[in-house]
Amino acid sequence: MYEERRSARVPAVVWSRTAGVRQERVLPDGCTDLIWDGTELFVAGPDTRAHRPDAPPGTRYTALRFPPGTGPAVFGVPAHELRDRRLPLAALRPEAEVRRLAERVAGAADPAEVLERAAAGALRGAGPADPRRAAVVAGLRAGLTVAEVAERAGLGVRGLHRLSLTAFGYGPKTLARILRMNRALDLARGGRPLAETAALAGYCDQAHLTREVRALAGLPPALLLAPPPSG
Phi, psi of 3 (to 5 degrees): -140, 150
Q: What is the pLDDT of residue 228?
A: 63
- Residue 230, pLDDT above cutoff 70: no
Average model confidence (pLDDT) across the chain = 94
Helix then strand count (H, E) for the chain reads 10, 6
Q: What is the pLDDT of residue 54?
A: 82
- Residue 82, pLDDT above cutoff 90: yes
Q: What is the pLDDT of residue 55?
A: 82
- Residue 192, pLDDT above cutoff 90: yes
- State the Cα–Cα distance between residues 109 and 60, nearest whole angstrom: 14
pTM for the structure as a whole = 0.92
Quick: pLDDT tens for 5-33.
999 999 999 999 998 867 678 999 999 99
The sheet carrying 60-66 orders its strands as 2-6, 13-18, 60-66, 32-36, 41-44, 86-88
141 near 177, Cβ under 8 Å? no
DSSP per-residue string spanning 100-169: HHHHHHHH-SSHHHHHHHHHHHHHHHH-S--HHHHHHHHHHHTT--HHHHHHHTT--HHHHHHHHHHHHS
